[in-house]
Structure 1
Amino acid sequence: MTVDVMHRVFSPHGSVEKIVTFHKSAGCQALIQYQSRQSAVTAKNALQGRNVYDGCCQLDIQFSNLDDLQVNYNNDRTRDFTNPDLPTEQKGRPSQPDAGNMYGSAARTVGLSHAANADAIAAAFGGNLPPGVTGENDRCTILVSNLNPDRIDEDKLFNLFSIYGNIVRVKLLWNKPDHALVQMGDGFQAELAVHFLKGAMLFGKRLEVNFSKHATILQGADTHEYANSNLNRFNRNAAKNYRYCCYPTWMIHLSSLPQDITEEDIVSLVEDHGVILNCKVFEMNGKKQALVQFETEEQATEALVCKHATSISGLVVRISFSQLQNI
């Protein structure tokens, strides 16, 4: 997949300024920078799910978090169409895409993959990633198995996995009712979900959570789309949400609550999911919030997946795990 091929595909939808192609374990990927944001939106709407060749190379397009691509060479792999005077390769060695410069800042490019900035993410964790998290994974799709097929659905999986990143789509496997695929916004978010949810208990089952061999989930009648969902938590305040990522706990935090909410209302909302040891409604920055402590982590997890995004008095309640040990 050369720069010229990608240019022929994407240039009909706007002025393409720069293209970088590269290979990762998920396959051939590319970053395309347009002159305008509207061109990027137009290209995504027109090309998402289309094939580059007849019956081959289906495009999965996502908006990147980069502001500007830095291109050092004009060749078959990288091209700056605004600067035709760039050399074809670095002296003394074949040219390679400069991965360190590909992942710079925030959002005018569109590409076949979304790459996370590991340094910025590390900063969200106080300068250090959680033990066991590398920040280097580039696989976005997760295989979840040992589900309870009688109680699980796509929205409940969204509620659970969206704690760790944005969700693109979810697919329950009809031929394996206790299996599902979850496509995360990028590889780092997928790594967080696998790290924190492997072995979690839900609906009486211990979840198996691993990276899928599939790079993406293809759109279809049996997939649920969440890429444009307002419930995705990492569209705003991403660094803040990364800090809240943790293993499931026995305490849940509820926000976006009505001002007149009471502890009795909160208990009534979640009491059918387990034994409640304590509940507290409080106000922070003028907004009502609540903490609920369950007897077990599994009960708290069930309450979260079933009651996140519940509507109360016209407000959509948001639920996450709290790392507090007691109220």
Structure 2
Amino acid sequence: MLRAKNQALLQMQDVPSAVNALQFYANIQPSIRGRNVYVQFSSHQELTTMDQSQGRGDEPNRILLVTIHHMLYPITVDVLFQVFSPHGSVEKIVTFQKSAGFQALIQFQSRQSAVNARSTLQGRNIYDGCCQLDIQFSNLDELQVNYNNDRSRDFTNPNLPTEQKGRPSQPGYGDAGNMYAAQGSGGRAVGFPQMANAAAIAAAFGGGLPPGITGTNERCTVLVSNLNSDRIDEDKLFNLFSIYGNIVRIKLLRNKPDHALIQMGDGFQAELAVHFLKGAVLFEKQLEVNFSKHPHITQGADTREYISSNLNRFNRNAAKNYRYCCSPTKIIHLSTLPQDITEEEIVNLVEEHGTVVNSKVFEMSGKKQALVQFENEEQATEALVCKNASTLSGSVIRISFSQLQNI
């Protein structure tokens, strides 16, 4: 029933039955409770039934009901956050499985953000050719989130517990369901431009992917072993791996203190990290970097969250940032520096990590940047890991490896 429009949709058993019904009422005026009604074919091929108590307000709301069609790949809270957060501040996300398929409720801080997200993302695909977004406004006023995990998240309350056992039902969430979900087609991919825009990625690498990179990996989690457990921590791992993609979360393994799990933004970024960091030396240890058997890291007290970190480098201009991906080199590049920075200050910042062979401060597009060359790749890697995101005269600096041979 479409009560707001005084209309209804009726699905017959097959097409001939629908044709017969339409032809029958072409010659006879049907009426219901004394009111004439009119029958015609609908553009919808099939209806998805849900509980009769379910409904959705037609008025714009800050909470969106999202149905995902043709879901060939797993969709988690983290994936949805990356897709929707560019359009406004996302407060809460709850996902659930209904007869209409995989659905999610996404609560924005403001109604306008939800309107913008729906206008931009409706009918788009998260990945090429699949995971199509069908977005409607929910009639709920506020989402109730009991756990922070891969199925639900309250970004305004990071201290919620992680669910340990079966997920309890969420009363009322199903009430926001759409009465029917039209199976659309087409739609450009969104959310992960690094996966959807292969041409832009290839262009960033000079026309093709680096040797050994397939671009088809789907595993997002990386296992790092042979770490120096006395000197490593989650932030240092973030500084190193965030060069190759966005970091969702990191977990140091308590039973294996020289092991860590790192969940990247997608499989392509994980593949870059494995390719470029395998065999790298950090804190006198040669790293082993491989794909993990775990598809994702379960959020918990022993994990560190980075999904919302503004230090992630691939939230905007993702394809452009791939051009800076490379194996560790002897030269590091420092950016977002104070405008009055001196070469001496730069050297003082990083010289504790190795012998500085050469350094240079320069200006590009009106912004101060610097290059520092060490004796070897290990020293440069340590400087990057320890000093990236550090504050210098009020500026949070960013460090990456330079592909220059010399300064």
TM > 0.5: yes
TM-score band, normalised by the shorter chain? 0.7 to 0.9
Q: Aligned residue pairs: how many?
A: 282
* Counterpart position of 1:164: 244
* Counterpart position of 1:74: none
* Counterpart position of 2:257: 177
* Counterpart position of 1:201: 281
Report how far residue 296 of structure 1 moved: 0.4
* Counterpart position of 1:89: none
Report how far residue 231 of structure 1 moved: 0.3
Deviations 1:49-89 (A, max 9, x none): x7769xxx9x9x9x9x9774369xxxxx9897887487xxx
* TM-score normalised to structure 1 length: 0.75
CA distance in 1, matches of 2:280, 2:50: 42
- Secondary structure of the residue aligned to 2:92 is helix
* Counterpart position of 1:283: 363
Report how far residue 123 of structure 1 moved: 2.3
Deviations 1:157-195 (A, max 9, x none): 000000000000000000000000000001101000000
Give the conservation status (yes or no) of the 8 Å contact 2:228–2:258. yes
- Secondary structure of the residue aligned to 2:70 is strand
CA distance in 1, matches of 2:307, 2:50: 24
Q: Does 1:46 align with 2:93?
A: yes
CA distance in 1, matches of 2:328, 2:50: 43
Give the conservation status (yes or no) of the 8 Å contact 1:254–1:289. yes
Report how far residue 238 of structure 1 moved: 1.4
Q: Which runs of 5+ in 1 are unaligned?
A: 72-76, 87-97
What is the aligned-residue RMSD (CA, Å)?
Answer: 3.8
* Counterpart position of 1:243: 323
* Counterpart position of 1:20: 70
* Counterpart position of 2:9: none
Q: Does 1:106 align with 2:190?
A: yes
Deviations 1:19-67 (A, max 9, x none): 22225xxxx558999xx969x98998232xx7769xxx9x9x9x9x977
- Indicate how the Cα distance of structure 1 residues 169 and 229 shifts in structure 2: closer, same or farther if over 3 A, else same: same
- Secondary structure of the residue aligned to 1:46 is strand
Q: How does 1:82-93 map to 2 (within 5 A)?
A: 84=182
* Counterpart position of 1:69: 124
Report how far residue 260 of structure 1 moved: 1.3
Give the conservation status (yes or no) of the 8 Å contact 2:220–2:264. yes
Report how far residue 127 of structure 1 moved: 1.9
Match of 2:203 among 123, 129, 138: 123
CA distance in 2, matches of 1:17, 1:51: 10
Structure 2 residue identity aligned to 1:69: R
Give the conservation status (yes or no) of the 8 Å contact 1:21–1:30. no
Report how far residue 261 of structure 1 moved: 1.0
CA distance in 2, matches of 1:259, 1:208: 39
Q: Does 1:252 align with 2:336?
A: no
- Secondary structure of the residue aligned to 1:252 is strand
